[in-house]
């Protein structure tokens, strides 16, 4: 076996036989850290494996929950970035509590959190760089000026994996929620994970808790797999959306469990005139095996920022418990854009205000510059195989008076309305059209019954569904 020489004398040489190739361990081992030689070997699934490897402690990381590791993360990733064109690199975060501010990832890179590893987000604002507003939004969501970088950030990257053996990322969001509720923010709160203008992304097998705002936000990106996440936030925490693909294409979201103060999943594509001008839709998205708890928000929301368009979304095998609504479409006059070719199959719902909810008067504009003549197109919305119990209303479907929502299809839906609410009208429909089949209670007249019909659900596969994981490896090392 050949030895590889490091350019810097401060690094120690070592080698490991991995399942793919020689894995290079970088960095000196600090006394208070976990030496690479003491870590157990492990395998994990990923879209791509890495030739080189390092441990955060090799770069001075201290996992005591008090010492800032921002410099350690940045140093590790900067050093590992030199291997992007030589098989890529992985950074292992070992057991411990690793306090850090925002840090940026690199291409052909894996961030791996071991079991009992906790990345703790700093509550020191000086450790959060400022970024300009997103071009498809035109202003920050919390404040009109710029925004704080996300805890884990990436821009113009290819082949990025954020995964672990159910390690934890803790956003320590209470600091930010307090400032938001007191209207003390001059910049928009940070998200937990945001990747921009990137492709070949995997975010998996982690526990994410208490994000300052949205948890996972891929934007202007493609070829994305998000699976095996447990996402937890207090149900009264502001804007803690779980997973928000935003102007993204070819996305697979599977096997996630989300408890949130906002939408468990929200598909977005820009805000009013800024989203229309940017013109990048969210499309070719599959969502499967989601469990959601969110008493004040949706299981899956489409919008309200949808001005670049949302199309070809396939949602199946959904469980929602104590959630305000199932699939919710949110739009308004001035949004423009479209939501069309939406397919939903197999929802099991328990304790919910609205099963079917579409609204054309959501409002909330970035500024006065939006075009009041920009009307959204909502069409081709399909639901089938729905079971719901302890529901307040079967549906609230409110289109726009001169811009109705069309081609709505609902089939094989059994909804048990709460005993207390049975005297109220279970269906409320205005400015919509479509058909239903085998639905109870009886739908509104705007959705007439058509016998023996199943609403469509695509039989073809999206490209992202064919992507298979490889088995990747980290082995314990021997220093010499």
Cite the active site residues: 262
Among the listed residues 426, 327, 306, 427, the one whose alpha carbon sits nearest the alpha carbon of residue 384: 327
Residues 6+ apart with CB under 8 A from 187: 130, 140, 142, 143, 145, 146, 147, 148
Among the listed residues 99, 98, 89, 93, the one whose alpha carbon sits nearest the alpha carbon of residue 114: 93
User: How many angstroms separate the CA atoms of 167 and 285, rounded?
Assistant: 26
Answer yes or no: are the C-beta atoms of 437 and 323 closer than 8 Å. Answer: no
141: helix, strand or coil: coil
475 forms bridges with which residues in the sheet?
none
Q: Which helix (H) or strand (E) holds 158?
A: strand 158-164
Tell me whether strands 470-474 and 42-46 are parallel, antiparallel or unpaired. Answer: antiparallel
* 59 DSSP assignment: G
Burial of 9 (0-12, 13-18, 19+ CB in 10 A): exposed
Helix spans in 260-337 (H): 272-278
284 preceded by a cis bond (ω within 30 of 0): no
293 C-beta neighbours (distance < 10 Å), count: 18
* 413 DSSP assignment: E
User: How many angstroms separate the CA atoms of 130 and 149, rounded?
Assistant: 6
Tell me whether strands 147-148 and 130-131 are parallel, antiparallel or unpaired. Answer: antiparallel
Cα angle 204-291-309, degrees, rounded to a multiple of 5: 75
Task: Give the dihedral sign, CA 227/229/235/241.
Answer: negative
Burial 85-100 (b: 16+ CB within 10 A, else e): eebbbbbbbbebbbbb
Tell me whether strands 152-155 and 206-209 are parallel, antiparallel or unpaired. Answer: unpaired
Answer yes or no: are the C-beta atoms of 472 and 43 closer than 8 Å. Answer: yes
User: How many angstroms separate the CA atoms of 277 and 289, rounded?
Assistant: 34
Sheet holding 193-196, edge to edge: 103-104, 152-155, 193-196, 216-219
Backbone angles phi, psi at 262, to 5 degrees: -145, -160
């Amino acid at each position: 076996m050949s030895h590889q020489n490091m350019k810097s004398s401060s690094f120690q040489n070592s080698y490991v036989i991995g399942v793919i190739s020689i894995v290079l361990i970088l960095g000196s081992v600090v006394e208070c850290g976990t030496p690479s030689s003491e870590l157990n070997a492990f395998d994990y699934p990923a879209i791509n494996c890495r030739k080189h490897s390092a441990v955060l402690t090799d770069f001075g990381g201290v996992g005591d929950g008090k010492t800032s590791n921002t410099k350690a993360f940045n140093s590790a990733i900067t050093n590992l970035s030199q291997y992007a064109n030589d098989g890529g690199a992985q950074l292992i975060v070992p057991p411990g509590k690793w306090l850090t501010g925002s840090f940026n990832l690199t291409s052909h890179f894996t961030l791996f959190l071991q079991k009992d590893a906790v990345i703790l987000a700093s509550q020191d604002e000086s450790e959060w760089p400022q970024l300009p507003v997103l071009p498809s939004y035109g202003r920050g969501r919390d404040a009109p000026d710029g925004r704080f970088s996300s805890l884990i950030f990436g821009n113009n990257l290819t082949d990025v994996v954020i995964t672990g053996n159910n390690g934890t990322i803790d956003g320590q969001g209470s600091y930010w929620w307090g400032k938001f509720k007191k209207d003390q923010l001059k910049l928009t709160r940070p998200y937990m994970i945001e990747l921009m203008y990137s492709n070949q992304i995997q975010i998996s097998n982690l526990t994410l808790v208490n994000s300052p705002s949205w948890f996972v936000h891929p934007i202007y990106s493609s070829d994305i797999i998000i699976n095996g996440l447990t996402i937890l936030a207090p149900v009264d925490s502001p804007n803690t959306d779980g997973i928000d693909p935003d102007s993204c294409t070819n996305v697979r979201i599977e096997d996630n469990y989300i408890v949130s103060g906002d939408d468990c999943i929200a598909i977005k594509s820009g805000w009013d005139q800024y989203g229309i001008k940017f013109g990048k839709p969210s499309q070719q998205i599959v969502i499967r095996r989601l469990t959601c708890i969110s008493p004040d928000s949706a299981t899956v929301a489409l919008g309200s920022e949808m001005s670049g368009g949302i199309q070809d979304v396939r949602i199946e095998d959904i469980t929602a418990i104590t959630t305000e609504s199932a699939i919710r479409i949110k739009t308004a006059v001035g949004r423009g854009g479209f939501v069309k070719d939406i397919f939903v199959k197999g929802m099991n719902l328990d304790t919910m205000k609205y099963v079917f909810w579409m609204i054309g008067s959501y409002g909330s504009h970035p500024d006065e510059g939006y075009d009041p003549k920009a009307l959204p197109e909502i069409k081709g919305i399909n639901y089938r195989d729905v079971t719901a119990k302890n529901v307040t209303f079967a549906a609230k479907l409110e289109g726009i008076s001169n811009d109705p929502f069309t081609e709505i299809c609902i089939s094989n839906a059994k909804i048990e309305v709460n005993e207390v609410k049975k005297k109220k009208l279970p269906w409320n429909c205005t400015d919509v059209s479509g058909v239903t089949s085998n639905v109870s209670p009886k739908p509104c007249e705007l959705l007439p019954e058509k016998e023996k019909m199943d609403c469509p659900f695509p039989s073809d596969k999206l490209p992202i569904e064919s992507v298979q994981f490889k088995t990747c490896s980290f082995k314990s090392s021997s220093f010499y």
